[in-house]
Amino acid sequence: MTDSDKAANEPGSNAAPSNFIRNLIAQDLESGKHGGRVHTRFPPEPNGYLHIGHAKSICLNFTVAEENQGYCNLRFDDTNPAKESQEFVDSIKDNIRWLGFEWHGEVRFSSDYFEELYNFAVQLIEQGKAYVCSLSPDQAREYRGTLTEPGKNSPDRDRTIEDNLDLFSRMKAGEFEDGTYSLRARIDMASPNINMRDPVLYRIRHIEHHQTGSAWCIYPTYDYTHCISDAIEGITHSLCTLEFEDHRPLYNWILENLELESIRKVSDLADSNYDYVLPEQTEFAKLKLNYTVMGKRNLRAMVEDGTVAGWDDPRMPTLSGLRRRGFTPASIRNFCESVGVSRSESVVDLSMLEFAIRDDLDKNAARAMCVLNPLKVLISNVDSEMELEMANHPKEESFGRRLVPFGREVYIDRSDFEEVPPPGFKRLVAGGEVRLRGCYVIRCDEVVKDASGQIVQLNCSADLDTLGKSPEGRKVKGVIHWVSATRGVPATVRLYDRLFNVEKPESKEVEDYHSVLNPESLQVIEGAVVEPSVLAQGSPMSFQFEREGYFCKDCVEHSDEKPVFNRTITLRDSWQS
């Protein structure tokens, strides 16, 4: 380990921890490769909302570029319009900015390069390295072979260059129906790497595109598009997750079989003084979390079948869902940094993400009081209302102080009172005392019940000499939170928890994810009461509701007239065994 690596990994160091990608880039810069440039890209497919797994890639690509005074492009891989939409494009841009990153230049789309991609495909045909194939998708799979058996050549593999150019031109002109033809690379049907067995470069799809409309009816595949788009944009380091490792030979084959000068002429570096060097792909392990589904197919299914209320449901691992639940950009970035970057596949415990948000909110969330299950307390010897001054944060004076109304009637939580207390109970009991947070010590003198025996009110008295000091001659151990019954604000509170109750909801052992849903993942409380300071002008979005957890105002449904709060996370990990 170098001295700089050691410094980066010292506790409290502000330097970024080293990893193999940071080391690779450092070596490239030292050797002068790519002209000393670092230019990365984040290339999402706009067929869903970004999730926490994407956050790792976002943080990596944008951060290594920023650390080396480089650039990071945002480029949408929009080559499959059947599953894509402008809604997904907009949400992806919004969430990248929410995380705190800004891409270089304008937003880019692979569709921006459709004309160039077509021309490069013609170039491959002219070199005898691509051909038009009439095999159906099912037939092509049959001809492809297996991991242990080589594939078979397509009957069309030896078409003449002239016929291939003619057919490809007619494909573009819209003469043929979907699936009639495809354009394939002419590589090696016996290759041990199945990705190199004459992969498809173009397919016919008569479908409207969210960026290009009906201008095209043939669309390039991801493998063909991605490497050329990287080259056009002058990308130096194409950082991908490990499932693309077996695709790297194809990435390189396509670029190496095109004329380098013809790529440079249409690239962003066409007018620069840099020696043009083709981009290189490097793979890292994707982020996997237990108790979480992150496959887009399953996420989409949960949205479409009503398992969740949408892509931004606070139980979803999408960035929009985490954001609505109250996760902060800093907590997600810190989490991604703590997970690290390696080439070893592993599953990260969800508690690491939960620790990251608890750690952030403990430092940065204002304190307030909320009673989830109100029980009225009448304090007989308090005659008038007053306002008590309380700190907004116990450790940070910069958070300031707030005024909390107090009077004859307050609410406490039902769980804070027991007529017959269990052993070790340190809250309010009949005939016993407890301190109201930041207020007086009160004693329960009478328990009032309705005809069914349900407790409806506690009649209490306050020791008026205990505001800000301990009572004389006795020790009161318990402290409970409360809210003014006359000035507290009714609110809806949603208690969120993990969506699944098994560690691996996407494993082969789980035939139907519905069978492993956590029935307690959402509880809605309509009758909660919050102190009025949480609705004051300029009040923050997130709070620690004392003794209840961290909560945020729901960014979709909350209003001052109908407050709605979402629980971000409990104060402690309730899932520890």
Retrieve residue 113's tokens: 């390069």
pLDDT score recorded for residue 576: 62
Q: Report d(CA 319, CA 17) in Å as an integer.
A: 24
In the chain, the number of structural domains is: 2
Q: Are residues 270 and 418 in the same domain?
A: no
- The residues pairing with 411 across neighbouring beta strands, listed in sequence order, are 376, 483
pLDDT at position 9: 40
In a domain? residue 502: no
Q: How buried is residue 287: exposed, middle or buried, by Cβ count under 10 Å (0-12/13-18/19+)? A: buried
> Exposure string (b/e) for 231-259, b if CB count within 10 Å is 16 or more?
bbbbbbbbbbbeebeebbebbebbbebbe
* 510 in any annotated domain: no
As given in the structure block, the two tokens for residue 568 are 């971000």
Whether 310 maps to a domain, the answer reads no
Domain ends where: 228, 257, 284?
284
- The answer to whether residues 115 and 231 belong to one domain is yes
Q: What is the CATH number of the domain that holds 377?
A: 2.40.240.10
- Is 565 domain-assigned? no
End residue of a domain, out of 438, 455, 487: 487
Cα(489)–Cα(565) distance, integer angstroms: 12
Residue 12 maps to a domain: no
* pLDDT, block means (10 residues), the chain with 577 residues: 41 63 95 94 97 97 97 97 95 98 98 98 98 96 95 97 98 97 98 97 97 97 98 97 96 96 94 90 96 93 96 98 98 96 93 97 97 98 95 94 97 96 94 96 97 96 94 91 97 97 93 94 97 92 96 96 97 72
Same domain (yes/no): 252, 400: no
Instruction: Give the strand pairing for 483-484 and 237-241.
Output: unpaired
What the block records as the tokens of 446 is: 């009478």
Q: Mark whether 147 and 241 lie in a shared domain.
A: yes
Q: Are residues 85 and 225 in the same domain?
A: yes
Instruction: Please indicate, yes or no, whether residues 253 and 375 belong to a single structural domain of this protein.
Output: no
Domain check: are 124 and 245 in the same one? yes
Q: Minimal CA–CA distance to 431: which of 423, 440, 442? A: 442
**408 found inside a domain:** yes
Residue 146 burial (CB < 10 Å; 0-12/13-18/19+)? Answer: exposed
Do 254 and 403 lie in one domain? The reply is: no
Let me know the angle formed at the C-alpha of 490 by 489 and 491, rounded to the nearest 5 degrees.
Answer: 110
What CATH number is given to the structural domain containing 95? 3.40.50.620
Question: Does residue 315 fall inside a structural domain?
Answer: no
Residue at 505 is within a domain: no
Please tell me whether residues 265 and 372 are part of one structural domain. Answer: no
**Same domain flag for 256 and 388:** no
Q: What is the DSSP letter of 287?
A: P
The Cα–Cα gap between 433 and 496 comes to: 33
Task: Identify the CA nearest to 95 among candidates 361, 336, 335, 323.
Answer: 323
Domain that residue 221 falls in: 21-284
Number of C-alpha atoms within 13 angstroms, CB side, residue 529?
18
pLDDT value at residue 4: 40
Domain endpoint, select from 284, 308, 343: 284
Examine the domain organization and report whether 81 and 196 are in the same domain. yes
* Same structural domain, 256 and 389: no
